[in-house]
Amino acid sequence: MKKQYFGTDGIRGEVGQFPIVPEFMTRLAYAAGNVLSKNAKAGQRCKVLIGKDTRISGYLLESALEAGFSAAGVDIMLCGPMPTPGVAYLTNALRLTAGVVISASHNPYQDNGIKFFSANGDKLGDEFELDIEAELENPMGCVSAQELGKAFRLDDAAGRYIEFCKSTFPGDLNLKGLKLVVDCANGAAYHTAPHVFEELGAEVISIGVSPNGTNINDGYGATAPAALIAKVKEVNADLGIALDGDADRLQMVDASGRLFNGDELLYVLAKDRLDRGQKLGGAIGTLMTNLAVENAIKELGIGFERANVGDRYVLELLKQKGWIIGGEGSGHLLCLDQHSTGDGTIAALQVLAAMSHNKKSLAQLLEKVNIFPQVLLNVKFKPGYDWKSDEKLKQQIAKVETDLKGTGRVLIRASGTEPLLRVMIETQDGDVAMRAAKSIADLIPIA
């Protein structure tokens, strides 16, 4: 069945536009509460944790969700601003039924969204989302007054999560002598990430830690690293760490201002674990993972598989293969030996540990990985255009694939939210990649 409301990462959209409106959010929580209650053990009362990022709309959606869960007879625990992976951790640590995050991740403040975590701290799958959508077809009701859900506030949520993050860093190591710039994107990690690195011994200069409800991801964070690069150079820091609005993405910058993305950091994490004798089996990337990284990981003597774009699909394939390391270029990095979901703060700690173990800089750890130029063209096509049936387009794609065989790759993807065709060419020569991408894009009838 095709989902009506849930996308690849929960429900997301512009606040005030359906479905990101109070009425729907109340109905959504009521439906989710009913699904959770039906799956609970007999006589067991459900309790969910609700966390959010720093968007002004979080207050509105939090209240709407609280009302819906209460009407379904589900107790609610509120933790306020908290990184998405922090909600995942706390849900599991407190033995709750589910966790709910109010966030639109790296999107601007005008957007917001909802995603659910299971009792184990991983993202709930398609079956759960389909069950919620089926339940939404039923009229909303309300349990009796004596069965209404109660709301509680978890006052020490930030402290609990900070200690958890620190526990993932090797006990025989510390960060003393390191000067770090930590960019929290004016998002959910503004009051957690700087403390983690500081309490492990680093000198921390924080930026993007003054959220006002409307400045999340605005000129700061993993999707806007220029501010971090400038600050690292200004204060002569050793490294810069950039998180996004809900702190599940990571980008890093070295003292020279070189930016390292998720693909490169994935290689660092995989190699470090191998060097320490840990059995990996392989690593998971996505359809967008740079070919140079795939080749380098395979040269380590382990497997490499590609999942669909999106950290939930990386997680699904990791579980299927029984592997522990995965990620994507955007900075979602999963270390399942440390956490059940992608966590930017914890991923940064794992990279810092790898640098310490090897006594090498990031550039030195990646000296054998020469990232291939990647050209991505987004082409808005005419309504009704079926690119998969376009013979001329298929012939050109086949020709480019033949020309690049062994030296590059072609990826054509349709957007899931708008009439866009994404044409990606990756090869060792950037000019060749651009010409090849244009030769395909020029055949698409534009709107």
Q: Which tens digit of pLDDT belongs to each residue from 163-180? A: 999 999 999 999 999 999
* Residues with catalytic roles: 105
- Facing residues of 307 across strands? 286
Question: For 30-44, what is the mean pLDDT?
Answer: 94
User: pLDDT at position 415, please?
Assistant: 80
Cα–Cα–Cα angle for 197, 202, 206, nearest 5°?
65
What order do you get walking across the sheet with 408-414 strand by strand? Answer: 374-380, 420-427, 408-414
Q: Which of 370, 368, 436, 442 is nearest to 405 (CA)?
A: 436
Question: For 174-188, what is the mean pLDDT?
Answer: 98
Average pLDDT, the chain: 96
User: pLDDT at position 41, please?
Assistant: 87
CA–CA separation, 73 and 46 (whole Å):
8
Sequence ranges of the domains in the chain: 11-157, 175-258, 262-365, 374-441
Q: What are the pLDDT digits (tens) for 66-82?
A: 999 999 999 999 999 99
Question: For 282-301, what is the mean pLDDT?
Answer: 95
Q: Which CATH architecture has domain 175-258?
A: 3-Layer(aba) Sandwich (3.40)
pLDDT band at residue 190 using 50, 70 and 90 as cut-offs: very high
Give the E-state strand segments of 15-164 in sequence order.
47-52, 75-81, 98-102, 111-117, 151-153
CA–CA separation, 49 and 258 (whole Å):
38
Q: What are the pLDDT digits (tens) for 385-418?
A: 999 999 999 999 999 999 998 789 999 998 866 7
Enumerate residues 6+ apart whose C-beta is below 8 A from 311: 9, 248, 327, 328, 332, 334, 341, 342
CA dihedral sign, ordered 326, 327, 332, 333: positive
Instruction: Kindly tell me if the per-residue pLDDT of 117 is higher than 80.
Output: yes
What order do you get walking across the sheet with 325-327 strand by strand? Answer: 303-307, 282-286, 325-327, 333-335
Q: How many residues does the chain have?
A: 447
pTM score: 0.93
- CATH number of the domain located at residue range(s) 374-441 in this protein: 3.30.310.50
Q: Which CATH architecture has domain 11-157?
A: 3-Layer(aba) Sandwich (3.40)
Asked, colleague to colleague, whether 11-157 and 175-258 share their fold, the answer is yes
pLDDT band at residue 322 using 50, 70 and 90 as cut-offs: very high
Cα–Cα–Cα angle for 230, 236, 242, nearest 5°?
50
pLDDT band at residue 228 using 50, 70 and 90 as cut-offs: very high
User: pLDDT at position 7, please?
Assistant: 86
Instruction: Kindly tell me if the per-residue pLDDT of 138 is higher than 80.
Output: yes
User: pLDDT at position 417, please?
Assistant: 65
CATH superfamily entry for domain 262-365: Alpha-D-Glucose-1,6-Bisphosphate, subunit A, domain 3 (3.40.120.10)
Q: Are 204 and 241 in contact (CB under 8 A)?
A: no
CA dihedral sign, ordered 186, 192, 197, 201: positive
Instruction: Kindly tell me if the per-residue pLDDT of 324 is higher than 80.
Output: yes
User: pLDDT at position 2, please?
Assistant: 84
Instruction: Kindly tell me if the per-residue pLDDT of 155 is higher than 80.
Output: yes
Question: For 110-122, what is the mean pLDDT?
Answer: 96
